[in-house]
């Protein structure tokens, strides 16, 4: 979990379960122009958990943190007066295993606050989600796509499932279908950076570096461009052999979130490729300081050990 959110508002109804069994999820809630929304509520739902619903409020910077989530798939709904609610899904990991931050961008509107599952917030539907995830994890791509589409037919508000559908298509190397799935999500949520990044990275996998660069450059020029956009544009530049340009975008990602070790590690690898071992070690040490428990920190430690031999 990123330290940025450690000071966010404490979640209500914290479950009295051991730290080994629960996780923490944080993130931000902003409007579609990138301004933080203070006092927005974020609801976490999982009918198979106990408790099965937890709620947090955002602080003046739009940040929230929910503590006490048992491991497994959760649906998160962000809502605020005068805005349309937005949902996201995340497989929560235990404390010590960092969970991906959630970033909500709410559109202005008078839509009432509702559960992302509508009238289908039942254990049966949650079981279907788990079943679809199991098919995905078993690499049964076509079966998982069919299962996810069946769930969306029952709960259209869960348009975020298009991200998982797109991921399955990418694993099949059916890149055009993956891009189509991302675009389906963008029709509902035009500001969804995960979909934009997904299109860029799919084009990269497809071998179309120009399209990948164009998509991510356009996203990076937006007022609400996220650290992930900058980082993945760096990945495209690196793939093109443009080390200096890659460094620029990795640095932008690191500047936007100094506690995120991933772009700092890439900066270390860029320096290593340039033959500057001392600079690489210093950057690797920054990765460890940023988040000592992250996978990137483990890689950085191994890198330092090799370079100091």
The pLDDT value recorded for residue 50 is: 64
The pLDDT value recorded for residue 72 is: 79
Least-confidence region, from 39-48, 143-152, 242-251, 273-282? 39-48
Q: Where is pLDDT greater, at 24 or 285?
A: 285
pLDDT at residue 83 tops 90:
no
3-115 is a CATH 2.60.40.10 domain: yes
Task: Give 95-120 pLDDT, tens digit per residue.
Answer: 555 788 999 999 887 544 444 455 45
Question: What's the mean pLDDT when you consider all of the chain?
Answer: 80
Instruction: Tell me the backbone φ, ψ of residue 166, rounded to 5 degrees.
Output: -60, -40
Q: Where is pLDDT greater, at 122 or 94?
A: 94
Query: Per-domain residue ranges for the chain?
Result: 3-115
pLDDT at residue 5 tops 60:
no
287, 288, 289, 295 alpha-carbon torsion, rounded to 10°: 80
Average the pLDDT over 249-260 and give the result. Answer: 90
Q: Structure pTM?
A: 0.56
Q: Where is pLDDT greater, at 75 or 50?
A: 75
The pLDDT value recorded for residue 96 is: 54
Interior angle at CA 293, CA 289 and CA 298, nearest 5: 80
d(C-alpha 300, C-alpha 213), whole Å: 28
> 102 has which bridge partners?
27
Task: Give 145-203 pLDDT, tens digit per residue.
Answer: 999 899 888 777 677 788 889 989 999 999 999 999 999 988 887 877 778 888 988 99
pLDDT band at 4 (very low <50, low <70, confident <90, very high): very low
The pLDDT value recorded for residue 13 is: 25
Nearest CA to 56 out of 88, 90, 19, 14 is that of 14
Task: Please state, for a pLDDT cut of 90, what percent of the chain lies above it.
Answer: 32
Residues 6+ apart with CB under 8 A from 242: none
pLDDT at residue 15 tops 50:
no
Q: Where is pLDDT greater, at 250 or 153?
A: 250
The gap from C-alpha 139 to its chain's centroid, in whole angstroms, comes to 21
The pLDDT value recorded for residue 268 is: 93
The pLDDT value recorded for residue 179 is: 95
pLDDT at residue 284 tops 90:
yes
Average the pLDDT over 44-56 and give the result. Answer: 72
Average the pLDDT over 130-136 and give the result. Answer: 83
The pLDDT value recorded for residue 16 is: 29
d(C-alpha 42, C-alpha 74), whole Å: 12
The pLDDT value recorded for residue 28 is: 94
pLDDT at residue 27 tops 70:
yes
Please say whether the dihedral angle defined by the alpha carbons of residues 119, 121, 123 and 129, taken in this order, is positive or negative.
Answer: positive
47 touches 83 (CB < 8 A)? no
Q: Strand order in 41-45's β-sheet?
A: 53-57, 41-45, 72-79, 86-92
State both tokens at 94: 């235990």
The pLDDT value recorded for residue 178 is: 95
């Amino acid at each position: 979990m990123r330290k940025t959110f450690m000071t966010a508002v404490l979640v209500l109804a914290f479950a009295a379960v051991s730290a080994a069994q629960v996780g923490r999820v944080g993130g931000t809630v902003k409007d579609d122009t990138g301004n933080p929304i203070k006092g927005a509520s974020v609801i976490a739902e999982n009918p198979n958990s106990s408790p099965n619903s937890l709620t947090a409020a955002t602080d003046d910077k739009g940040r929230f943190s929910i503590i006490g989530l048992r491991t497994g798939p959760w649906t998160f709904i962000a809502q605020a007066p005068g805005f349309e609610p937005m949902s996201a899904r995340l497989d929560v990991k235990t404390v010590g295993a960092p969970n991906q931050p959630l970033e909500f961008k709410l559109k202005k509107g008078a839509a009432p606050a509702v559960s992302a599952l509508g009238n289908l917030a039942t254990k049966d539907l949650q079981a279907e989600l788990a079943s679809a995830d199991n098919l995905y994890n078993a690499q049964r791509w076509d079966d998982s796509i069919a299962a996810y589409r069946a769930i969306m037919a029952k709960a259209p508000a869960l348009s975020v499932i298009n991200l998982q559908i797109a991921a399955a298509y990418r694993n099949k190397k059916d890149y055009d279908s993956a891009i189509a799935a991302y675009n389906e999500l963008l029709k509902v949520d035009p500001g969804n950076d995960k979909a934009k990044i997904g299109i860029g990275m799919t084009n990269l996998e497809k071998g179309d570096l120009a399209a990948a660069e164009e998509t991510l450059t356009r996203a990076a020029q937006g007022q609400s461009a996220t650290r992930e956009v900058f980082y993945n544009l760096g990945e495209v530049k690196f793939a093109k052999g443009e080390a200096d340009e890659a460094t620029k975008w990795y640095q932008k990602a690191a500047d936007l979130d100094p506690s995120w070790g991933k772009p700092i590690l890439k900066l270390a690898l860029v320096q290593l490729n340039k033959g500057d071992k001392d600079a690489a070690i210093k950057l690797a040490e920054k990765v460890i300081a940023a988040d000592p428990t992250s996978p990137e920190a483990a890689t950085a430690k191994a890198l330092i050990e090799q370079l100091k031999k």
